[in-house]
């Protein structure tokens, strides 16, 4: 079984390798566009050249898109999972070390239908439509939530190739849980999941309070429930902190607070979830690398945390340890935060601000310099229905009318 799975993971299905950009392709109802940093092919446009304006990605009918600094993933409307970008740490789930610059079907998972995918800097995770969790990539600190050795049952030759290519990485593997999973979020060395009944669990490195519960173990390889978090409807993580939103619109945060990203000036580490004060009822939020953007139920954006690149929407570029209201004259429907940039959607129009040196703001030739980032959101695209901001790149699903 594992020999067949391993062989399947080595067969890469390149969607864009023979695509002809005909009118029937370009003008299908929904299309994925990408722009920004592209050194590892994470834009998925067939090359590794960074782009300063939106470019069409050769994949159709995208249901869900996610990205991190050097890797991207998408689920199409048939439930199939695609990855592309940097292959180091086994991030793409296919058993190869070469980077991939077009969306590629994860072959060893092609028999499954997915509804959610999360990208990390060192590992990946995806959830099937029936609530099963699969993880893969670098397994240090037990952050994958399973300890199965992919190479153990392989013949000696294939085992040698596997270990040579992937090192401390694992192929996609089912995490054994006794509940169904709704969402997953990845920090650098940890994973948190949200069950369908509103509970939150974490696994991985026990440092800076990132697991959200007290433990003496340095590594926690088995998912454990975070106490006192109930009726949670959304989770997300930055580099070394996490946030949860409950059904009443309250936000809770834990982990590193070095930049005030937990919504309070002190302490520098919060070991267990604490409610973020000074916010109205929140409907949706997104974690950047060291900051947060949150939308109130009446469509107002609040930001806090690291502000050195203008991502908090203020000209001072100073860190702000408490929620700060962004001045914007329209109700906002969605927010997505990257490493140091922000995308917001209002009436299907995409506006962006923050760091733009690598083209992640989609300004075309009007790129920012290290000393001049955009702190005021400006229009980038229209007819946008979904967005995702990675480390220094961005995606938008556009309804082609």
pLDDT at residue number 97:
77
Tokens of 351: 């506006």
Higher pLDDT, 69 or 21: 69
Provide the pLDDT for residue 164: 52
Q: With bands split at pLDDT 50, 70 and 90, how would you rate the model's confidence at 11?
A: very low
H/E element, 232:
strand 232-237
Q: How many whole angstroms separate alpha carbon 148 and alpha carbon 141?
A: 14
Place of tokens 């990855």: 83
- Give the number of other Cβ atoms within 10 Å of residue 288's Cβ: 27
pLDDT at 28 exceeding the cut of 60: no
Q: How far apart are alpha carbons 375 and 215 in whole angstroms?
A: 40
Confidence (pLDDT) at 25? 34
Instruction: Kindly report, residue by residue over 188-239, the tens digit of the pLDDT.
Output: 999 999 999 999 999 999 999 999 998 889 899 999 999 989 999 999 999 9
Mean pLDDT of the chain: 88
Q: Is the pLDDT of residue 267 over 80?
A: yes
Would you place residue 371 in the very low, low, confident or very high pLDDT band (cuts 50, 70, 90)? low
The residues, ordered by sequence, that sit 6+ positions from 23 with a Cβ below 8 Å of its Cβ are none
Q: In this predicted model, what pLDDT tens digit does every residue of 149-199 receive, in sequence order? A: 544 444 454 544 545 555 567 889 999 999 999 999 999 999 999 999 999
CB 139 within 8 A of CB 122: no
The CA distance from 172 to 127, in Å, is: 11
Phi-psi region of 18 (alpha: psi -120 to 50; beta: other; left: phi over 0): alpha
Which pLDDT tens digit goes with each residue over 47-102? 999 999 999 999 999 999 999 999 999 999 999 999 999 998 899 998 877 899 99
> In this predicted structure, what is the pLDDT of residue 215?
87
Q: What is the dihedral sign for C-alpha 167, 168, 172, 174?
A: positive
| pLDDT class of 263 with cuts at 50, 70, 90 | very high
In 3D space, the residue among 96, 22, 11 whose CA is nearest the CA of residue 60 turns out to be 22
Model-level pTM? 0.89
CATH numbers and ranges of domains, the chain: 1-16+28-176 (2.130.10.30)
Give CA–CA dist 7/41, Å, rounded.
24
Distance of CA 136 to the CA centre of its chain: 14
How far is 233 from 165, CA to CA, in rounded Å? 39
DSSP for 332-343? --EEEE-SSEEE
* Cα 178 from chain centre: 25
pLDDT above 50: residue 12: no
Element (H, E) at 195: strand 190-195
């Amino acid at each position: 079984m594992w020999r067949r799975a391993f062989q399947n993971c080595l067969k890469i299905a390149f969607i864009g390798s023979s695509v002809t950009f005909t009118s029937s392709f370009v003008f299908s109802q929904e299309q994925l566009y990408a722009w920004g940093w592209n050194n590892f092919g994470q834009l998925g446009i067939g090359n590794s050249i960074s782009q300063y304006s939106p470019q069409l990605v050769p994949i159709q009918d995208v249901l869900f898109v996610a990205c991190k600094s050097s890797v991207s993933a998408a689920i199409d409307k048939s439930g199939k999972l695609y990855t592309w970008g940097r292959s180091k740490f086994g991030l793409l789930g296919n058993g190869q070390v070469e980077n991939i610059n077009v969306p590629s079907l994860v072959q060893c998972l092609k028999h499954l239908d997915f509804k959610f995918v999360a990208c990390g800097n060192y590992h990946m995770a995806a959830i099937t439509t029936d609530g099963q969790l699969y993880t893969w990539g670098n397994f240090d600190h037990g952050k994958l939530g399973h300890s199965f050795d992919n190479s153990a049952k392989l013949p000696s030759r294939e085992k040698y190739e596997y270990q040579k290519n992937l090192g401390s990485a694992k192929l996609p593997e089912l995490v054994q849980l006794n509940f169904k999973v709704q969402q997953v979020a990845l920090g650098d060395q940890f994973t948190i999941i949200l069950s369908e009944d509103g509970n939150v669990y974490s696994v991985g490195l026990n440092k800076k309070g990132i697991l959200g519960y007290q433990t003496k173990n340095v590594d926690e390889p088995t998912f454990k429930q975070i106490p006192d978090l109930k009726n949670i409807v959304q989770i997300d993580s930055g580099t070394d902190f996490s946030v949860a939103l409950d059904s009443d619109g309250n936000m809770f945060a834990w982990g590193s607070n070095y930049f005030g990203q937990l919504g309070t000036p002190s302490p520098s580490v919060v070991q267990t979830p604490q409610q973020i004060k000074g916010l109205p009822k929140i409907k949706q939020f997104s974690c950047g690398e060291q900051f947060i953007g949150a939308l109130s139920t009446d469509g107002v954006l609040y930001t806090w945390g690291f502000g050195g690149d203008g991502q908090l929407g203020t000209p001072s570029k100073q860190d702000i340890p408490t929620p700060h209201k962004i001045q914007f004259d329209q109700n906002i429907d969605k927010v997505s935060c990257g490493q140091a940039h922000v995308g917001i959607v209002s009436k299907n129009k995409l506006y962006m601000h923050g760091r733009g040196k690598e083209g992640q703001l989609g300004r075309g030739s009007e790129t920012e310099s290290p000393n001049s980032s955009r702190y005021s959101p400006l229009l980038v695209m229209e007819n946008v229905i979904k967005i995702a901001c990675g480390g220094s790149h961005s995606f938008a699903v556009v309804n082609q009318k």
